[in-house]
């Protein structure tokens, strides 16, 4: 079984905060895969089901961010899971908005939810770090993460949450690089080809001559 944990703070006043994007990600996964309803369990809300042929437990700790570790530890003890069976979705200020990176182990970078989980189970769990951007100075950090996503951010946030949910079987299968790649393409799809970069049109471009008019393509940096 894989334990998918979303970090956030309970309560309607925190629901749309940047700090709650972990909750949002787990809710998106839950809705997309139509898993059984969340139930109050393990000091949080939990839903067990199957994704990509594998058993998963979705967990949203309701202990407030700073004590998330107690909820994660309780779920792990019940199912006899190891840290390697845990994957935590959380906000990350050290990443640009809409960027997603996955890492195993390492420091908590000042994130209190990650700090508390590490205190309870150690550092050797996977983390899906969801970029929310940095406000620019330390004294604005708390206000930044505890504020709602702005209207201008809603488009990429919703697109990102949809991709995190839709592509989660890749994560469940252990392909972290593939998961990150698919999400990046979904949030910022590649530009469509134009006549200038279509290989079929190379011969029609201005060139240095030649009997057949197919000059040497310009070297790109």
In DSSP notation, 105-144 reads S---TT-HHHHHHHHHH-S-SEEEEEE----SSGGGHHHH
| Cβ atoms 57, 47 nearer than 8 A | yes
* Contact residues for 34 (Cβ-Cβ < 8 A; gap 6+): none
Each residue of 27-48: pLDDT tens digit? Answer: 999 999 999 999 999 999 999 9
> Quick check: is 19 catalytic?
yes
Q: List the pLDDT tens digit at each of the 221 positions of the chain.
A: 999 999 999 999 999 999 999 999 999 999 999 999 999 999 999 999 999 999 999 999 999 999 999 999 999 999 999 999 999 999 999 999 999 999 999 999 889 999 999 999 999 999 999 999 988 888 888 889 999 999 989 999 999 999 999 999 999 999 999 999 999 999 987 777 665 555 555 444 444 444 343 343 334 34
Q: How many CB atoms are closer than 10 A to CB 109?
A: 12
SS3 label, residue 161: helix
Ordered structural domains, the chain, with CATH: 2-187 (3.40.50.1470)
Kindly report the pTM of this predicted structure.
Answer: 0.85
Cβ atoms of 93 and 144 within 8 Å: the answer is yes
User: Distance between CA 27 and CA 70 in Å, rounded?
Assistant: 20
Contacts of 179 (CB under 8 A, 6+ apart): 102, 167, 168, 170, 171
Which listed residue (19, 30, 90, 144) is catalytic?
19
């Amino acid at each position: 079984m894989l334990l998918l944990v979303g970090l956030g703070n309970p309560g309607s006043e925190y629901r749309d905060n940047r700090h709650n994007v972990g909750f949002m990600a787990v809710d998106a996964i839950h809705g997309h895969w139509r898993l059984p309803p969340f139930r109050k369990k393990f000091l949080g809300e939990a839903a067990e089901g199957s994704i990509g042929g594998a058993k998963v437990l979705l967990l949203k700790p309701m202990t407030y961010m700073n004590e998330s570790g107690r909820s994660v530890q309780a779920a792990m003890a019940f199912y006899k899971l190891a840290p390697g069976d845990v994957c935590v979705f959380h906000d990350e200020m050290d990443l640009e908005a809409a960027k997603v990176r996955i890492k195993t182990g390492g420091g908590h970078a000042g994130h209190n939810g990650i700090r508390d989980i590490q205190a309870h189970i150690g550092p050797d769990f996977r983390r899906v770090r969801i970029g929310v951007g940095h406000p620019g100075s330390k004294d604005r950090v708390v206000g930044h993460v505890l504020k709602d996503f702005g209207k201008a951010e809603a488009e990429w946030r919703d697109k990102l949450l949809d991709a995190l949910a839709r592509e989660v079987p890749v994560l469940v299968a252990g392909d972290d690089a593939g998961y990150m790649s698919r999400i990046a393409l979904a949030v910022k799809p590649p530009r469509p080809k134009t006549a200038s970069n279509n290989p079929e049109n190379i011969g029609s471009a201005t060139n240095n001559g030649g009997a057949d008019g197919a000059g040497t393509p310009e070297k790109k940096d």
